[in-house]
Structure 1
């Protein structure tokens, strides 16, 4: 004769919600008394749930991801009546050291070890012996409380770690460390990244103040730059290009123009030199996929130009610059710059850029570190050119030198490639005849 016995969740110290991490049985399986049939987890401990009866599983009432509590039905098992006397109707963890025949949940990894004759049947650690953990952290990840606390201290969302190297896929501290290393190398950070916020200060205590609301452009620009700064490992390479002949040619071109014609600026030649370099080094005309696994190469060349406006910095995009003349680019940039200063640029006018130029030449400076306009992988900074004495092997001669600053995403571009890219731009600007090749 056989009896149908219910296996239920035992007393786990008054915890109302327990996560089901793993279910090791299915209908039709034969289990032995005290055989592990599921893994449960609370915010205080992880535990193995043993079978309170041996026999054939008739029905399983839980699945991974479910939340259960004390007394929740786990499974029904068909047992022989002769074995029924061995079944404990109710499981209590504190009985694990008193009765060898009464199974109890098994703690696998606790922050504070508990000495018991049988570690496989150790009692659940009391809250006092467990680190205080933010209950807002998801407890579906298969990790012990100490590992959860370690992850939280590093600012890691432990639910992002899909698998661990511990027993039954349990997440270990080494898995958290590996995740952080991978996140740094790929530029992936958790929300907030564990970075403490700057505390608020009442400046009025030091003197008179005035509060001005940031423009929408500045707010959005600030958010984007902060996001890029946290996600991209950026490197800036500084160089100088001899533009003496280029500047003489530019002055000669403008001398031929009428008052109504758009004047040529040095920026037009920089755009052309940049286009030639991007064709030679296609990784600069690319974007990294969101998962960081692929590089998306672009077959078009659109250049963004950072424009200073009363409301903040905007970046209108010049499209298909490789197919336009210097005069066409000058007219288009003048038109879009005027629109930008009047606040009339449309969103489409600022989208689709492949690489951005940020020029401070009209203001001054000798060098700066521009921030990449993601999802682009590089940005070229330009400051004011000045006459410098340059040694030609025999004597110092005056040459007009243009400082250039190239910031790039180090995940896509390495140092040697960045230096070669800048050398190509420098060469084209020093002898603009090369742009005809």
Structure 2
């Protein structure tokens, strides 16, 4: 007759794990070694096989439950159990009764050596290549010692031994293709019971043990859990930890491991990510450039101080400027432009605007924008951005110019669209409108997006030169300083000319020095002779 037996969760190599899937249903007929449960812990995600064969009568767990060794999982109806077998011989009255045990051993059984096999565990792939055999015949190996290196599509891994012993045979060689279950080694294990015929142990006893059952003839291949597989030689981590590291694009080699025997745990990865986020928020670390953190100084001990919080714009722009400065290889090209005729024309136009009550004022910046737009049309590399992977150049077919505007809360860069096709009056009106919005703090994200190149003009404030920082993802920026009257030699005599300093900073990954010199010279030509702008 049949008998109901309990299947308890075996040793899973962790204190607790969560059930992610139940692979059987009530009424299903299951076989020994059939997977019945999927669990995931800090170290691994694994399937749990059954040690019982029979019909599932009850399922005592559900998805999401946290379980540990000994947790009741299933009640299984087992047919033809040992209870129905003929009674064994009863010992005589003067013979001592045998002590109850999971398996009946012969009194002559003696401790001796035994050959056991080690096979490839579940390594998360269909097939991998053996890159190195790390032991030789005759070597004594210890538990968790790396014995094999393999490499697949997803990772390079070392396979450790699940038990100690002496290597008797090596069944693989470098270059072989192996998969889960492939035989690796035959190992002689000391202190094992001599191979004697044994009676099958009761199922309830096996339920609390590992799912591998040894037979009288030979031990089956020892299966390693995924948590026993290490990555890249000395780095040991479970598949779930490796997956988390890949999601964050992290190198496990740089993450301090705190797990048993040097394993990297999920908590190690989480701690590392939190530390990097804090470092980035504080402005330290240099984006991987190994920049020393700023020293902590108690300034109050030197005198009175006041703590003033950064403005919202400063908090946003500061990290961006820092990133642009340390990640873009800047080159700055300097020049001076004779804007004597340009300035005379500008004043004439402003006088006309006043007479006609147009309500606008033309600034030198308008002509700078037109000259830059014309130069961008002539040199398309300046009107581009690097792709995210740095492997290609994105050439823009539109020409929009950003202008840096000084506001009480910090610097902002609104963008004037389609500058090449707009006239001087149109651009002047638009600059006036966006400048008012900027100073009132009413610019939207759309107002500051889509720039081809930026102009930063400090001419109204002062200074002779400065080196502007490229406003990524743009690849160039033009700095304009204060104009001044200077004597200029015309071949016969010195003449007083109005000169304005220019500084062109550009990304040297995209633009070389010769092209940079040509670009700023072209702008010089346009500004020194306005007639060239209409050609």
Q: Does 1:38 align with 2:148?
A: yes
Where does residue 209 of structure 1 map in the other structure? 305
Q: 1:21-420 maps to which residues of 2 (within 5 A)?
A: 24=129, 33=137, 38-39=148-149, 52-54=167-169, 77=183, 87-89=187-189, 140-141=231-232, 191-258=287-354, 259-420=357-518
What value does the CA root-mean-square deviation take over the aligned residues? 3.8
- Measured after TM superposition, the shift of residue 24 of structure 1 is 4.0
For 2:534 and 2:501, locate their aligned partners in 1 and report how far apart those are by CA, in whole Å.
24
For 1:251 and 1:160, locate their aligned partners in 2 and report how far apart those are by CA, in whole Å.
65
**Relative to 1, partners in 2 of residues 1:53 and 1:405: Cα closer, same or farther, differing over 3 Å?**
same
**Relative to 1, partners in 2 of residues 1:345 and 1:205: Cα closer, same or farther, differing over 3 Å?**
same
For 2:291 and 2:184, locate their aligned partners in 1 and report how far apart those are by CA, in whole Å.
55
2:130–2:149 Cα contact (<8 Å) kept: no
- Measured after TM superposition, the shift of residue 54 of structure 1 is 3.3
Cα displacement string for residues 363-385 of structure 1 (whole angstroms, at most 9, x for unaligned residues): 01110000000000000000111
Larger radius of gyration: 2
- Measured after TM superposition, the shift of residue 7 of structure 1 is 1.9
For 1:407 and 1:78, locate their aligned partners in 2 and report how far apart those are by CA, in whole Å.
61
**Relative to 1, partners in 2 of residues 1:293 and 1:205: Cα closer, same or farther, differing over 3 Å?**
same
Give SS of 1:210's match.
Answer: coil
Structure with bigger strand share is 2
Cα displacement string for residues 265-284 of structure 1 (whole angstroms, at most 9, x for unaligned residues): 11111111111111111000
Give SS of 2:353's match.
Answer: coil
**Relative to 1, partners in 2 of residues 1:363 and 1:78: Cα closer, same or farther, differing over 3 Å?**
closer
For 1:219 and 1:364, locate their aligned partners in 2 and report how far apart those are by CA, in whole Å.
26
1:361–1:384 Cα contact (<8 Å) kept: yes
- Measured after TM superposition, the shift of residue 261 of structure 1 is 1.7
The TM-score with structure 1 as length reference comes to 0.64
For 1:376 and 1:76, locate their aligned partners in 2 and report how far apart those are by CA, in whole Å.
55
2:384–2:474 Cα contact (<8 Å) kept: yes
The TM-score with structure 2 as length reference comes to 0.53
- Measured after TM superposition, the shift of residue 225 of structure 1 is 0.4
For 1:196 and 1:241, locate their aligned partners in 2 and report how far apart those are by CA, in whole Å.
41
**Relative to 1, partners in 2 of residues 1:274 and 1:77: Cα closer, same or farther, differing over 3 Å?**
closer
**Relative to 1, partners in 2 of residues 1:159 and 1:330: Cα closer, same or farther, differing over 3 Å?**
farther
Cα displacement string for residues 69-127 of structure 1 (whole angstroms, at most 9, x for unaligned residues): xxxxx956399xxxx7xx3337xxxxxxxxxxxxxxxxxxxxxxxxxxxxxxxxxxxxx
- Measured after TM superposition, the shift of residue 140 of structure 1 is 4.0
Q: Which blocks of at least 5 consecutive residues in structure 2 are unaligned?
A: 1-113, 140-145, 151-156, 173-177, 191-229, 236-249, 255-284
Q: Quick check: 253-262 or 267-276, which moved more?
A: 253-262
Q: Which blocks of at least 5 consecutive residues in structure 1 are unaligned?
A: 10-19, 41-45, 58-62, 65-73, 91-138, 145-156, 162-188
For 2:286 and 2:486, locate their aligned partners in 1 and report how far apart those are by CA, in whole Å.
47
Structure with bigger helix share is 1
Aligned length in residues: 313
